[in-house]
Every structure is written in C-alpha cells, then in structure tokens.
Structure 1
Amino acid sequence: MCPVTKVFSFFLILLFSSRIKRRTKLFLKLEDFLWRRNDSIGLAFSELMLLKVLAATAYDDMPSHIENLKCKMCVVVGNSFAIKKTSLGSAINKYDVVIRLNNAPVPGYEEDVGNKTTMRIFYPESAISNPRLHNDEDTLMVMVPFKPHDLRWLKEMLYDEKRVQDIGFWKPPPLIWLVNRSNVRVLDPHFMHQTVKQMAQIPTQKRNQKPFQPTTGFLAVFVALNYCDVVHIAGFGYPPKSDQQQPIHYFENNTMKAMKSSPHDINHEAQALKRLEEVGALMYLHPHL
C-alpha cells in the first residue's frame, strides 16, 4: 500500500488552509483549446498558436506503466550545488518518476544526480539544441508557457518554420531543437496559476511584496505534489548570501552575485519548502540548511 496517498490534500489543509482539487492531468490537450481565462497566465491572445502546438503534441499524458501505478514515487532533482558529492545517483534512478529542470546536464554527473529522466520541465530560454544528450529516449519534454513568445518558439520548432530571432526573450532560445515530437508536452497553465496563488498566501517579512514569480524548481515541486503520492526532492537550496564563492548550481560556476537581478524570491521559496517538509508533504534526500 502506498505510504502517503493524501499528501496533496494534507499539505493544502495544513499549509495553505485552502480548498483546491488535486489535478493529476498535467498537460494541455487539443480539447483544452478553449481553456479557462483565469488559468491562462501569459497566454492571452495566443489561441491560434496554441491550437497549432496542441495539434502537434496530441499524445497521452504520462506513459501507461507510470499512469497505472497505484502508488507513484517521485523525485524532483533540482540544480542546486547542494546535490554535489551526495552520491544519490543510484537512489534517484529507482524512483517511478524523475523530474529534472531546464538545461541541467546529466552526463558526467551521474554519481550524484542519476541518469534517469521521466520528464524535464523547461522554457525556451533554458532549452538546449540537442536534448538527447541529457535525457532518455522517452523523456517527456514539458514546456512551461510563461508568455506568448514561448508558444511561438515551440510552434516554430515543431513545424520547422522560419525562426523569429530573439524577440520577446531575455536570452536567445535555440534555433535548432532536435527533439522527438511525440515526447513534447505543454504544461497546463493551471499549475503556474495555482503555484502563484498558493505561494502568495505564505506571509513574508517584506513589505510591498512584488508579485511572486516561482522558479522552475518550485513549480516542478507543485506539479509533483499534484501528480505523485510520495514526493522527495534533491538539489534544492541556495548558499547564504554572505557566501559569494560557492557556486549556485552543481554544473557551473555562477555564484550568488548572479542572483542580484533575479525576478525570483528565493527566500520565500525556501520558507515554503521548509513548511512543506514540516507537514510531511515532501522529504529531502540530503542534509540542507
């Protein structure tokens, strides 16, 4: 029997005191073309692009061997330097669902991060030209549509259309994307909407708090809490702001200086993850601050 079958409702009641239903259907479908406006963060007036994208990605949600499990054990592998030298790779590979983020590499880091990837959540600026280098053949490439330009980029990639370069992106996305169409999915904007909504209910010490923009990692945790029965996480956590030497990520040398202009509130997210851990909604696989 699954050890935790009510984790999502449990964390909602204890953490947010809110009543929203668990949603296990993760991706937009062609039949969702006329989606609810309050769930369409960043996608207003993009109906035709969305229709064309969904026509090219009209596949099942998750593989049947995962969908049919009575108890889904999932791990979200973050990109934090905290996963370095943990030797968690073999343990990570044993989970039913392994969720990775953005452009985090796998080859060369297998001992710590494993090499199994069920789905990778990303946005155009964090995509790489050849996803096959860092993913399994059947890894689901799940795009988060933050803005209309994201759908335009995905449409251009899927249909091999003329690329519109650099317009609307903070960083140029790939102009070539070597991916199997059948592996591409678009995350339902419901998850971004609800992540923002629920995070806004967590009090912070800051006044005049800016609108919360979750990191891909925190969004992935919310997705996992919806879909999975048991959620573990690894590779989450930033070094203290006073530490300007330790890298942020396990695969590159950027330090906390790179976070100065970030739109994310990492302290806010850290508080939320701590409370989720305290109520038993998730568990870290390694020591953390």
Structure 2
Amino acid sequence: MDYIRIWLACARYSVVRTMMFRFDFIMWALVEFFWMGVNLLLIQVVYDHTDSIAGWSKYQMLLLVGSSMLVQRFIMGFVWTNLFEMARNIRTGHFDFFLAQPGNPLIMVSTRKLDLDGLSNAVVATAVVIYAANRLGIDPSLLDLLAYAAMIFCGFLINYAILLITVSLTFWLGAAQGIEGSYFTLMEFSRLPRQAFKGAAGVLFVWILPAVVVSNVPASTLIHGFSLTNACWLLAVTVFWMSLALFVFNRGLRRYASASS
C-alpha cells in the first residue's frame, strides 16, 4: 500500500507538471499520433496490392499492429522516461538519491514519472484494436477479453524487462545511448506476423528474442479465441525475461560506484 500511495503521489505530480507545459504535451502527443498514423497508413498501402501476408488479412494485421502499439504506448507512458533517466543518473552518480530512499530502488526508479503524451495515445491504439475486431466480426467472450488484457500486461512486462536489461548495462559500460536504440529496433518486429518468420529468423525472433510473441499471442487470442498453449508460452517467456532483468539489475547494482565513492 505504501508503494501505491507513492506511485499515486508521483502520478499526481506528473499530471500537474504536464499541465504547466500544455503546449509541449500537445505537440509530443501529436508526434506520437503521427507516428502511429504512418504505421497504419503503411498497412493500407501494402494491402492495396495483396489480400494476405503470411495468412493474415488486412484487418487481422491491423489488430496485430494495434496490439503492438498498445504495449509500446504503455511502455512509453509508464516507464520509458524513468529508465532513460536511470542510465543518466548512473553515469552522473545521482542514482544515490534512489538508494537513499526507504524503498526498493528498482520500484522507486521505475515509477517516479508518467509520460502523459505517450500514455494518451494508448486510447488511440485501443480504438484501432476495437475497430479491427469490429471489421473482422469478432465477438469475444469475457474470458477472451480478460485473457487479452492479461497478455497485453505480459507484453508490457517483457518490454520492460528488455529495456531494464539494456539500461542496466550502464553499470558496466558507463553509457548506453546506442544500446538503448537497439530496444526500438528489436520491437519493430512485434508488428509482423509470427508466420512471416522462417528459418534462422524464426528461431531468433520467435523463440530466442521475444519481439514477436508480445503482440502475436494477444492478437491471436482475439482472432482465434483463448489458447492455453499460447497463454502458457507467453507466461513462461514473461517469467524468464523478468527474472533475467532482475538478475542483471541486481548484479549491476553491486558494481555501482556512488557519487561520494
């Protein structure tokens, strides 16, 4: 409950601060919206020349991309700014501030700020998913909707784990600007169907790296119904990557040299 109260206080501060700079908030929200619009327009252009890609129709692909966008908007809204600043604080020694607080340092550093312009477009991503599902004539059951929400949350945790591992490398390298960009490169593959990956690419992006599973499993749940096999697969991937992220972060924390050392 203490952590919830702290998070609510931080969220309140973020809202107040954002409203002090309304024009900046509107501009960045429009930038995010434009980026999403370009991705959706690309789908329209591609499907003007074909009816199916790897067995996925136009609106199935739209639902897949909407699911990917939903996960990424949650990442950008809840944790991206915090983890990006964590890398900078490690380099400058300001990470001492979080270690001195009476709480788990990872929780404190991950929940300090909300990025409202990124989070606001989660509404747009949700609208894309609803529109695509409606065009496909999908009438999901309550179980399907709950499973979809849980799988989107798993996708959020997987993305968070990958981002945390990437940023935690700063404990060893001293800087991670170029490595942070690799996260976005990897997540570009989340907007592609699993069936499109063959051979070595399928092994790498479907089974080794979780780029494809974070969006394909939730989208398939809405399109084809709940699958226990897919749910267990996604849960296992989530547990593995979160465990790995916590291990890397805690090992890095032992190497941290504070500003006073």
User: Hey, which of these two has a bigger chunk of strand by percent?
Assistant: 1
User: Hey, which of these two has a bigger chunk of helix by percent?
Assistant: 2
Structure 1 length-normalised TM: 0.28
Structure of greater Rg:
2
Structure 2 length-normalised TM: 0.30
